[in-house]
């Protein structure tokens, strides 16, 4: 973003008291601390949910240990622990004792709604820990890596509709769909409408016409869909990552401005016109109010 545009947008953000939460983000394994501090200075950024990844994964994303360490150093970060589907619910207790506040679910060997996983979700619900599920498309890898991690690396075990069975079995679970993506948005909507406790962290391949079609709909308890959508980026804080995932602070700031302009000026005669603060901030702020920057 050039300086002229930034100055203009900064004035708007200040005038409108723009505030927002990044409800789906990652951390680089190798950190540039100076860069990280700069990213967290994005105007209006109040909280970032950091999602841990499998320690055995190749790549650049930080694991649970690193996530927890940096979250203690920077209170703006809310730590989500990577869930190992090959272990039992005792791991949820360990996560809570260590200081994690949420759970990240991805790449289960069996479908998310397999009966054997319900004890995991029940324990998270008992400890009031939200679970963010990666749903829809996911990067594919070779068979050797699949066997090494004892995980599944296709799409078919991570479908949005599976959250409906989970919510039925564990009514008090706080379920969050991670991403929007082509081919799965109707399932995502079905889960949002049928499950009163389910929300979506809206990152990935977002379908803005879907917003216009569905934000005015309501779930089974009458809550409008726009009250169940949360701003998110899926970018990586800390710089040492692929080019498209860098500059996390600038990325979330620009996205927050986009949602502001869309819902403020391009939603006339829709009931969600002017409700940008819900998507940017309010819908996510309900989960961890004690960790919000003032």
Q: How confident is the model at residue 250 (pLDDT cuts 50, 70, 90)?
A: confident
pTM above 0.85, yes or no: yes
Nearest to 201 by CA among 18, 19, 20, 22: 22
If one compares 255 and 244, the residue with the highest pLDDT of the two is 255
H helices of 128-207, in order, are 143-149, 162-169, 185-194
Nearest to 196 by CA among 180, 212, 172: 172
Q: Domain limits of the chain?
A: 25-291
DSSP conformation class of 227: G
Residue-level length of the chain: 294
Task: Round to whole Å and give the CA distance between 123 and 64.
Answer: 19
Task: Round to whole Å and give the CA distance between 188 and 50.
Answer: 22
Examine the pLDDT at 232 and tell me if it is beyond 90: yes
What is the per-residue pLDDT for 127? 98
Examine the pLDDT at 272 and tell me if it is beyond 90: yes
101: exposed, middle or buried (Cβ count in 10 Å: 0-12, 13-18, 19+) = buried
241: tokens are: 């990552």
Examine the pLDDT at 1 and tell me if it is beyond 70: no
What is the per-residue pLDDT for 97? 98
Label residues 15-41 b or e (16+ Cβ within 10 Å = b).
eeebbbbbbbbbbbbebeeebbeebbe
Which CATH number applies to 25-291?
Answer: 3.20.20.140
pLDDT tens track for 54-108:
876 657 788 999 999 999 999 999 999 999 999 999 999 999 999 999 999 998 9
Q: How confident is the model at residue 3 (pLDDT cuts 50, 70, 90)?
A: low
What is the per-residue pLDDT for 137? 67
What is the per-residue pLDDT for 148? 52
Q: How confident is the model at residue 222 (pLDDT cuts 50, 70, 90)?
A: very high
Nearest to 49 by CA among 175, 276, 196, 230: 230
Cα 157 off chain centre by: 19
54: tokens are: 């499998």
pLDDT tens track for 119-141:
999 999 999 999 999 987 665 55
pLDDT tens track for 196-215:
899 999 886 567 889 999 99
Nearest to 151 by CA among 182, 119, 109: 109
Phi first, then psi, for residue 153 (nearest 5°) are -115, 20
- Of 20-24, 46-50, 250-254, give the lowest mean pLDDT range: 250-254
């Amino acid at each position: 973003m050039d300086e002229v545009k930034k100055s203009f947008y900064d004035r708007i953000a200040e005038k409108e008291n723009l505030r927002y939460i990044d409800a789906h983000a990652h951390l680089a394994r190798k950190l540039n601390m100076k860069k990280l501090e700069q990213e967290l200075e994005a105007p209006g950024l109040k909280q970032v949910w950091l999602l841990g990844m499998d320690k055995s994964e190749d790549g650049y994303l930080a694991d649970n240990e690193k996530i927890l360490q940096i979250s203690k150093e920077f209170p703006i970060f809310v730590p989500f622990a990577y869930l190992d589907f090959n272990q039992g619910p005792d791991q949820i207790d360990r996560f809570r004792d260590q200081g994690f506040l949420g759970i990240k679910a991805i790449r289960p060997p069996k479908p998310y709604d397999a009966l054997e996983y319900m004890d995991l979700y029940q324990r998270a619900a008992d400890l009031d820990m939200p679970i963010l599920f990666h749903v829809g498309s996911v990067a594919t890898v070779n068979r050797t890596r699949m066997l090494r991690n004892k995980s599944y690396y296709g799409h078919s075990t991570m479908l949005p509709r599976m959250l409906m069975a989970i919510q039925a079995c564990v009514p008090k679970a706080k379920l969050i769909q991670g991403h929007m993506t082509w081919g799965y948005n109707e399932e995502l909507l079905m889960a949002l409408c049928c499950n009163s406790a389910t929300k979506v962290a809206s990152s990935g391949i977002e379908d803005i016409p879907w917003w216009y079609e569905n934000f005015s709909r309501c779930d089974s308890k009458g809550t409008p869909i726009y009250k169940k959508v949360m701003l998110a980026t899926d970018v990586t804080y800390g710089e040492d990552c692929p080019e498209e995932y860098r500059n996390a602070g600038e990325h979330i700031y620009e996205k927050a401005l986009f949602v502001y302009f869309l819902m403020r000026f391009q939603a006339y005669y829709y009931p969600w016109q002017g409700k940008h603060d819900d998507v940017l901030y309010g819908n996510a702020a309900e989960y961890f109010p004690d960790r919000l920057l003032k």
